[in-house]
Structures are given as C-alpha cells and as structure tokens.
Chain A
C-alpha cells in the first residue's frame, strides 16, 4: 500500500472549509459582476448551518440513505484522489457517488426531482467520456494510473494533452452546475424546474448535499491541478484563472437544452480525444 493516507485525511477535513470558502467567494464575485454587493464570504457556511437547524421533511426516509451514501462516496473519491490512489478508481467512485445522488432524487417521485434526476444523468453521460479520456491521456503520458505517479511526472502534462484538458474544461461547468449547463439543478433563481434534482430535499438532507458539493468542487480543482502539477505556482494561478472563467461564463450565458449540452460535450470530447489520444498513442511529437 503506497497510499498517502495523511493527505487523504487532510482532504477530508479541509475540503469542506475550502469548498465553502470557494462557494462564498464565487457568490461575491458573481454579485460584483452583476453590480451588486453580494453576501458575506462565510454565507455558504451560514446557509448550511441553518439547514441543519431546520426540521427535515422527507418524502421517503430512503432519501437520507442515498444522500448519506452520496457524501460518503464523494468524500471517498476525493480522499482516494488526494492520497495518490488510482485515478480510474477515483472516476468510478465519482460515478457511484452521483448515481446515489440521482437515486435520492428519483426516490421522492416528484416530477421536478425526477426530471432533475434524468437531466443529471444526461450530464453524467456528457461528462464521463471526457474524464475517462483525461485519465487515459495521463496514463499514456506518465505510464501509470496512480495520481502520485502522475503528479511526480517531470514534464508539463498540459502541453502533452491540451486537447483533453479543453474537453475537460468544457464539461467542468456541468459538474459545477453552472450556466449554461445548470440544467439539472441550479444555485440561481431559475425556476422553471424549481430546484430540479434537489427539489424534495430539505433541512439536513439538503445540507449534506451542499457539503458534498463542496467536496466535489475541491476534488475537481485537484483534478485540474494534475495538468499543471509540474509547477505549483502555475498550477494555483491556473486554478484561480479557470475558476474565475467559470464564474464569468456562468454570468454571461443562458441555460441551454440538454440536447445541446450532450451533443456539444460529446463532439468536443470525441474530436479533441481522437486527435490528442492519437498523438499520444503514436508518439507524434
């Protein structure tokens, strides 16, 4: 066992804090972009604390089970990633976590939840090829699936798999649930789908979902960092730039239909994937 369990545990403790702060900063930056003052930086923590103060209403008790499983496996995903584990297993665990979240939405059987669940599945379907191909690309570059080996690869991974990186960046928005791909649920006041996926979550169930989302954000940023792991300074700057870019896109774009989201994500992933993976396979550089 070469897993660095300590970094995994650090992730488990720090990720909600960092994720919450990122969410807070996100809301302030968004507000400023819209010419508003915006909430305090700690607002996401207030929100989640409040959710735990409130009574929890459920349509069926099984909702709890699914949401708890969701956060457990999201945390597991991140911990495995940050302790240097196998990147494919990380991707599989991420899928498992999302399937649990989706089951939580299905269980309530309200039309809004179910449509949210179906759309989330479509988003999953759009997202999955890109992240799998990124893992494949990293394997082709570093000859290992283990995050610890990829991170210690001496060379700029981003320069070898720029295509896959852009494909990942495209679907990254889906995972952050930001516009234009916030079709399954949204942080903003779009209400045609109420809250989609999370419509029938309330109180602590919703609070758990929020915390899981923070874990996920930190994990995904960690994944992006892998591309820049050769230089931590560049890596951190890249993360900040990319996140700001996501906020910008969130604010300037309108929601798209699922068909556009799926089609565009697949076409981009397929084209960039074929080119980039092809170059790596046949060593054309």
Chain B
C-alpha cells in the first residue's frame, strides 16, 4: 500500500448542484462519519488534492472551471462524480444549458449515484477511488522507469 491511500486529500467542487449532495459531502467531515479517521482532509485547493469530488452537472458556466481545477491537481489523481446529476446530468439532463455528467468534460473514475448521495456511499466511493489512485500511481512509477 502506498502512502497515497493513507492520506487522500480531497477537493470538492459544486458544479451547479442543488446543494443536496454538497451537504452530504460535508456531512462526512462531521463527528458522526469523521473521514479524518482515514487521513482524508478537505483541502479546498487542487494543488494539494488527490481526489476530486464533483457534485452537479456540467454547464456552460462551469465547464472551463472544472477542467482548470482538474488540470491543477498533480498526478496521480482520481475524480469521483457524486450524485445523479454529476454522473449523468440527472433530471437536468435535457436542459438547454446542461451538457451532461462530469464525464463529458473530464475522465471520471468513480460514480456515486443518488439524489442526494448518502455519506456512507460517498465514503465508499472515495475508498473505491483510492484503489484506482494506487493503480495510477503504480502506472506512473512504471512510466518513470
């Protein structure tokens, strides 16, 4: 196990979400769930982060922002799309300004559906993402050699 999996720092971005999923993401920080047990910290800064949590769907306003944040996360990194809007666009899918789920803009590694996604599921998603993070790191190291 690499140290990556022991200290995944997350950045959370609200892409036109209704705030439901965001509340649930933040709920993970509360004493009830206490994700800091796993070394997870909400950094709020892509340059420090390993895991990118996105809620809500892509639209014209935020597509560049999401791309920019994604680009500023140093490798290796994983993206977790949280909530049904983030996975597919959800009920807003057909809206004139919505382009769809997060994967229309950046590669997504884990999908956590739900409206809103429950904290347990979010934690589960992040833990799944950690496995992928390790794989990516192994690939990165192999690439270096």
Contacts and interface: CB of A to CB of B under 8 A. Distances in A.
A and B touch in the complex (CB under 8 A): yes
Interface string A39-55: 11001001101100111
A203 interface: yes
A37 B74 contact: no
B41 A50 contact: no
Contact of A206 (B29, B37, B48, B72): B48
B39 A54 contact: no
Q: Is the interface of A mostly helix, strand, loop or mixed?
A: loop
Contacts of B38: 39
A191 interface: yes
B75 A40 contact: no
Interface string B37-71: 11101111101101000000000000000000000
Contacts of A35: 31
B36 A39 contact: yes
B27 interface: no
A64 to B, nearest CB: 14
A202 B34 contact: no
Interface stretch (A77-85, A86-94, A159-167, A192-200): A192-200
B31 A199 contact: no
Contacts of A206: 47-48
A38 interface: yes
A237 interface: no
Interface stretch (B2-10, B100-108, B114-122): B2-10
A195 B3 contact: no
A189 B37 contact: no
A231 interface: no
B41 to A, nearest CB: 7
Nearest to A34: B31
B3 A31 contact: no
Given A35-B31, A54-B74, A199 B47 contact: yes
Interface of A: 27, 31, 34-40, 43, 46-47, 49-50, 53-57, 189, 191, 194-195, 198-203, 206
Given A31-B34, A191-B44, 19 more contacts: A31-B36, A36-B37, A38-B37, A39-B36, A43-B6, A46-B3, A46-B6, A49-B3, A50-B4, A53-B2, A54-B74, A54-B75, A55-B76, A57-B74, A189-B43, A195-B44, A195-B45, A199-B45, A199-B47
Interface of B: 2-4, 6-7, 9, 29, 31, 34, 36-39, 41-45, 47-48, 50, 72, 74-76, 137, 140
Which 10 A/B pairs are nearest by Cβ-Cβ distance? A49-B3, A191-B44, A202-B47, A50-B3, A46-B6, A36-B34, A35-B31, A55-B75, A55-B74, A47-B7
